[in-house]
Chains A and B, each alone.
Chain A
Amino acid sequence: MASPCEILVETRDHVLAKKLIHIAANEAWRIERKFSRYRDDNILYQIHHACGGPVEIDDELALLLNFSEKCYQLTDGMFDITSGVLRRIWKFDCSDNIPTQKQIDALRLLIGWGKVSWQQPFITLPEGMELDLGGIGKEYAVDRAAVLISQVSDLPVLINFGGDLYATKPPNSRESWQVGIESIGGLNKTGIIQVKSGGIATSGDARRYLERDGIRYSHVLNPKTGWPVQGAPKSVTVASPRCTDAGFLSTTAMLNGVAAKSFLEAQGVPYWIQN
């Protein structure tokens, strides 16, 4: 996950709390192992090394691909899981290394969900293309962990994987969970959100960006142009019944750049923007 994860369980039974935490942690590690692009022993590796041939995938990955395809359609192609290859040239290390247009153009040939053949259960990627589930992986893990925990216990639980979180129900001891939003450019909490239940996700570039000639390039890349989205807010936090929804909406808000706020207004969901 590459970010700190915590699970809050409200109970006196610390043995049960440990069990629930293990369930959530195991599920997170399972998902990470399965969809990590750094491993050579998972389905993603097989897909990336199929040299243009079809690969049969399991139900879970199929559902994730269906979901990603739906996201692609809902955003008119801005949300595209094949855009991960751009990380090869865009390294957001707070330096001023901006890639050249030639580099960008070369990679744009390898981007585009429309170039992928997805006929359940077979996926065929043209050679050189990649699938990157990083955009929804963490939020998906949060929701999955929540599903597994609620099968075992009715306790109020808050799952927080690096800022993407889900609360199963309000705690017994007070009205709601208190969630702090990190202030960009500092460690002071900007605000406290009262969460009764549901998902919260944040997209933001507090730590990852490039800056050159006074222009700050956010790490949210437009898959159609290959360039970072212009005028995106520094941070977008969205609340939605599920963490996966919230994650998608916050990412899409960022992809809308200057129109982030009006996009979120149109969705009618609670949101917090930092510019």
Chain B
Amino acid sequence: MKLIIFILSLTSITACSELGVKPWERNVLAKPEMSLDSTPLTSALDDHTYFSKEASSGGRGFGGGGCGCN
């Protein structure tokens, strides 16, 4: 049930075409620090630490590589 609500909300988000910018308004969004994963190396290090100490993992994207730590 939760899943259905989630998928419905996903599709309704994308139906919002009032959201967004014109291509020439992207100067701030183009900055490296505005990227969703602006420091992939350190976020991979963090993910690996938390993966080995907690029961959850991932969410953001695909990691790279398993280990014997969990």
Q: Which residues of A contact B (CB under 8 A)?
A: 147, 150-151
Shortest distance between the CB of B28 and any CB in chain A (Å): 9
Shortest distance between the CB of A142 and any CB in chain B (Å): 14
SS class of chain B's interface: helix, strand, loop or mixed? Answer: loop
List the A side residues contacting B31 at CB < 8 Å.
151
Shortest distance between the CB of B38 and any CB in chain A (Å): 15
Judge if B27 is at the interface, Cβ distance under 8 Å: yes
Q: How far is the CA of A147 from the CA of B27 in the complex (A)?
A: 8
Top 4 nearest A-B pairs by Cβ distance? A151-B30, A150-B27, A151-B27, A147-B24
Q: Chain B 1-41 against A: per-residue CB contact (8 Å), 1 yes, 0 no?
A: 00000000000000000000000100100110000000000
Q: How many residues of B contact A (CB 8 A)?
A: 4
6 CB-based A-B contacts, threshold 8 Å: A147-B24, A147-B27, A150-B27, A151-B27, A151-B30, A151-B31
SS class of chain A's interface: helix, strand, loop or mixed? Answer: helix
List the B side residues contacting A150 at CB < 8 Å.
27
A150 nearest in chain B by CB position: B27
Shortest distance between the CB of B34 and any CB in chain A (Å): 11
A143 nearest in chain B by CB position: B24
Q: How far is the CA of A150 from the CA of B24 in the complex (A)?
A: 11
Shortest distance between the CB of A115 and any CB in chain B (Å): 31
List the B side residues contacting A151 at CB < 8 Å.
27, 30-31
Shortest distance between the CB of A83 and any CB in chain B (Å): 29
Shortest distance between the CB of B16 and any CB in chain A (Å): 25
Q: How far is the CA of A29 from the CA of B13 in the complex (A)?
A: 42
Shortest distance between the CB of A263 and any CB in chain B (Å): 27
Shortest distance between the CB of B39 and any CB in chain A (Å): 19
Q: How far is the CA of A150 from the CA of B29 in the complex (A)?
A: 12
B30 nearest in chain A by CB position: A151
B29 nearest in chain A by CB position: A151
Q: How far is the CA of A41 from the CA of B26 in the complex (A)?
A: 32
Q: How far is the CA of A150 from the CA of B28 in the complex (A)?
A: 9
B24 nearest in chain A by CB position: A147
List the B side residues contacting A147 at CB < 8 Å.
24, 27
List the A side residues contacting B24 at CB < 8 Å.
147
B31 nearest in chain A by CB position: A151
Shortest distance between the CB of B22 and any CB in chain A (Å): 12
Q: How far is the CA of A151 from the CA of B31 in the complex (A)?
A: 7
Q: Chain B 49-63 against A: per-residue CB contact (8 Å), 1 yes, 0 no?
A: 000000000000000
Q: How far is the CA of A151 from the CA of B32 in the complex (A)?
A: 10
Q: How far is the CA of A143 from the CA of B49 in the complex (A)?
A: 46
